[in-house]
Structure 1
Amino acid sequence: MSKKVGIIGGGQLGKMLVSEAAKMGIYTIVLDPDEDSSAVSLANEKIVACFDDRAALLELARRTDVLTCEFEHISTEVLKYLEDEGFVVYPPAEKLEIIQDKYNQKMELKKHGIPVGDFMKVSGIEDIKAAAKIFDYPIMLKTSKGAYDGKGNSIILCEEHIEKAFMELGGNAASIYVEKFIPFTKEISVLYCGSTNGEVVVYPVAENIHKGGILYETAVPATISDTQRKNAIEIAKRVYSLFGSVGMLCVEMFVTKSGNLLVNEVAPRPHNSGHYTIEGCTTSQFENHIRAVVGLPLGKTDLIIPTVMRNILGEDGFKGIPVIVGAYEALSIEGLKLHNYGKKETKPKRKMGHMTITASTLDIAREKADRACKVIKIISK
């Protein structure tokens, strides 16, 4: 319990990690380039620096007992240096480096027989056209690095869309690849967590809905068959054996029209689709991540009650100092919990917070979530 934890990244995931650490009396230092990032308001200390700043990361490592991260896009070169110097980093740089590059991530999954959709590397417009002849339209053009929340992805419906999609993704032939479009019926995710002592726990399968590439809703339990549930957990277990280390790992999957499961992406950290665990499970993903990296026993992951999580995004047409409207009305809804990330600026589609609604059934929880979404908005002054 006396260990100090260094958290690389001060966004909302970092904030929720710091919050759980504080409950257990665990000292935290957050490194982030934004001096007003969400997590620094709760952390014991902050270091304001970029994620590839070797001197700053070395300082963070020297002042803490273990380093962990709230997102993937960190310089693995610096993390390897820290590991060579004897500092403890979770996830390890070697695994993080593979996961950071989504094409390499898919190659590694395929190499180990984990089910993924068809994909291929491309190096320009002519290659994309050739891929479309193999996969047929529509196809997904993706950047292999830095993509999140719908950014770095473009769906191509016909040949006339290829050049525009290529340029929208930066026109960088070295970092793109094509995936065959998967006409899925559901999106699901499974959260795994492993501790320094080898203990592993798994969370209930979650069902996710995305809008515009951004997670809109997570509902638990997922409305899938028992066979699909077992298969999802087994696939996530195999992915964990490949990429997992210490802390949380999220495996996102598609349920195809034929009922099969295909892995879409892997994230080696707490995940947006795991926010429901704060109110919905015995132990949240954030508490278990902190427990894991400091070597404490992991908490139970049982679902307490059906739960729906909805992200709260910045409203279109508003940019500036955020103002929450409708919070009073939303919080009058029984079973609703509101999480405000405390970001200093709102932008259209920026994740500003989330709400969770617990109820005796998912239908009731969704009805309440729909009511809340009609009243709560993030605008600007």
Structure 2
Amino acid sequence: MSNQNSKNYFSSDFKLGILGGGQLGKMLLYETRKFDIQTKVLEASKDAPCRIACDEFIIGDLMNFDDVYNFGKKVDVLTIEIENVNLAALEKLEQEGLKVYPPTKTLKTIQNKAKQKLFYVDNDLPTAEFSRFAYASEIEDSIENGGLEFPFVWKAAQFGYDGQGVKVVRNFDDLKGLPEGECIAEEMVPFKNELAVIVVRNPSGEVVTYPVVEMEFHPEANQVEYVICPARIDAKVAAKATEIALKVSEKMKHIGILAVEMFQTKDDQILINEVAPRPHNSGHYSIEASYTNQFEQHIRAILDLPLGSTESKVAGIMVNLVGAEGYTGNVVYENMEDILKLEGVTPHIYGKKQTRPFRKMGHVTIVNKDIALARIIAQQVKETIKVISK
């Protein structure tokens, strides 16, 4: 066994640091509680979901060098639940010998979408054609000079989340009001399915993948409505998606979880959309449906423990609970009792007191031996529960 493995993480003075205090952190903390691993969380908002479940909750700015650096000096291993963190501080901590997972080099590639896309091109990984712009105002010139054609997908190079920072541009009017900074314009891919594969890697080099999942999107909000596991696709397509996800993981040398989102084109090619180096929405189903859920797996990976089985016990479908349009303020979950009556339904409420349109407030998992039946129940859940305000 490696030296690190002989370290006692459990019921000991070992401290795991998490940058970010949102719902992903909260779900990671369920697992550290299970293993009795001490945790410290750094987060700007005093009301964030993580405040109730960690050993120490520290208020600070994730983009501030000193806040991140000083936090890192007080922990033994540092991980993230959001990509937008101060990388210079992480680099310095790494140079001083702190284990930072995912490594800063991986985060540098992923944090900026233009860099991420160039990485795919450099490593012969299949992705949609794109152009990179230092300023959004350059896009218009490119269209007028025949370099770029409508429609395309505009993406901010940095700080997008939950469908923010992404816009389908069909005409000149759609360009109005785009943020000015660095961005990419990506070819619109006519696709049959959006798929995702979660790859997990530990420092010893052990690698596992979860089954391919399929994502059904909300047409307006550009957010996932349903995640379906296993994906209802041909075995050959699933094998190809898994192979590409493994290749991305190998080239990126990440540690922990890497969620690889992909398009299955009309002719069954697989193109990488983007990746996230942390637990991910596409893996939430695993809490109820898998032998080892993605959050436990992330903890195992960053502590260099043996990885668990990624197999599903049953089919799982996840429904995102997002704030209803037209409601902002103190949240109320309507018809909760009605969905609890349905078979195989488990709600997860993230603990955000304030709702606003399309804000991720929770999710519901539906498990069933029969995926078709799970999908029907998922639809009922979606139509029944309402996330509104007082």
TM-score by length of structure 2 reads 0.93
Q: Distance in 2 between matches of 1:238 and 1:128?
A: 35
Give yes or no for contact 1:125–1:162 (8 Å, CA) kept in 2.
no
Query: Is the CA contact (8 Å cut-off) linking 2:63 and 2:84 kept in structure 1?
Result: no
* Preserved contact between residue 308 and residue 365 of structure 1 (Cα < 8 Å): yes
Q: Is the 8 A contact 1:318 1:347 kept in 2?
A: yes
2:41 corresponds in structure 1 to 30
Q: CA deviation at 1:124?
A: 4.7
Residue aligning to 2:202: 195
Contact 2:137-2:180 within 8 A present in 1 as well = no
Aligned counterparts of 2:40 and 2:95: Cα–Cα separation in 1: 21
2:329 to 320, 324, 328: 320
Aligned residue number for residue 131 of structure 2: 120
- Which residue identity does 1:26 align to in structure 2? I
Match in the other structure for 1:139: 152
Greater Cα offset, 10-19 or 54-63: 54-63
Contact 2:136 2:178 in 1 (8 A): no
Q: 2:186 aligns with which of 176, 179, 190?
A: 179
Partner of 1:331: 340
Query: Counterparts of 2:119 and 2:237 in 1: how far apart (Å)?
Result: 23
Partner of 2:4: none
Letter in 2 for 1:308: I
Encode CA deviations 1:147-175: one digit per residue, 9 max, x unaligned.
122211221213x32541xxx32123xx0
Pick aligned residue for 2:105 from 94, 108, 126: 94
CA distance in 1, matches of 2:328, 2:175: 31
Q: In the alignment, is the contact (CA less than 8 A) between 2:153 and 2:167 conserved in 1?
A: yes
In 2, Cα distance between equivalents of 1:368 and 1:162: 37
5 Å matches for 1:228-267? 228-267=237-276
**Unmatched 5+ stretches in structure 2:** 1-8
* Alpha-carbon distance between aligned partners in 1 of 2:314 and 2:330, rounded to the nearest angstrom: 35
* 1:330-355 deviation line (CA, Å, top 9, x unaligned): 01101001100011211111000000
Matched, 1:292 2:304: no
- Given that 1:9 and 1:71 are in contact with CA atoms closer than 8 Å, whether structure 2 keeps it comes out as yes
Q: 1:121 to 1:58 in 2, by over 3 A?
A: closer
Matched to 1:191, the amino acid is I
> Is 1:130 aligned to 2:142, yes or no?
yes
Q: Please tell me the residue identity of whatever aligns with 1:24.
A: F
Shift of residue 278, structure 1, vs aligned partner = 0.6
Shifted more, 276-285 versus 319-328: the winner is 319-328
CA separation in 1, counterparts of 2:118 and 2:275? 12
Q: Aligned-pair distance for 1:176?
A: 1.5
- Residue 290 of structure 1 aligns to which amino acid in structure 2? I
Match of 2:212 among 205, 209, 212: 205
Q: State how far apart, in whole Å, the 2-side matches of 1:294 and 1:188 are.
A: 28
The share of aligned pairs that are identical, in percent, is: 38
Contact 1:120 1:131 in 2 (8 A): no
Partner Cα separation in structure 1 for residue 282 and residue 71 of structure 2: 29
- Structure 2 distance, partners of 1:33, 1:124, is 29
| Alpha-carbon spacing, 1:126–1:297, altered in 2? closer, same or farther (3 Å) | closer
Q: Is the 8 A contact 1:128 1:178 kept in 2?
A: no
1:279 is the counterpart of 2:293: no
| Pick aligned residue for 1:148 from 151, 157, 161 | 161
* Separation (CA, whole Å) in 1 of partners of 2:341 and 2:331: 22
In the TM superposition, what whole-angstrom CA distance separates every residue of 1:18-74 from its partner, at most 9, and x where no partner exists? 111110111111110011110111111111000023333233223221000001111
State the Cα distance separating 1:365 from its structure 2 match: 0.5
Change in Cα spacing, 1:162 to 1:88, as seen in structure 2 (3 Å) is same
Measure, in 2, the Cα distance between the counterparts of 1:368 and 1:178.
38
The secondary structure found in structure 1 opposite 2:126 is coil
The match for 1:60 among 68, 71, 79 is: 71
Cα offset, 1:129, TM superposition: 4.8
* Counterpart amino acid of residue 289 in structure 1: H
Count of aligned positions: 375
1:161 to 173, 179, 196: 173
SS in 1 for 2:329: coil
CA distance in 2, matches of 1:372, 1:236: 31
Contact 1:187-1:254 within 8 A present in 2 as well = yes
AA aligned to 1:97 is: K
More displaced, 8-17 or 88-97?
A: 88-97
| 1:120-167 deviation line (CA, Å, top 9, x unaligned) | 113454544535834532111221111122211221213x32541xxx
Cα separation, partners in 2 of 1:105 and 1:126, compared to 1, 3 Å: closer
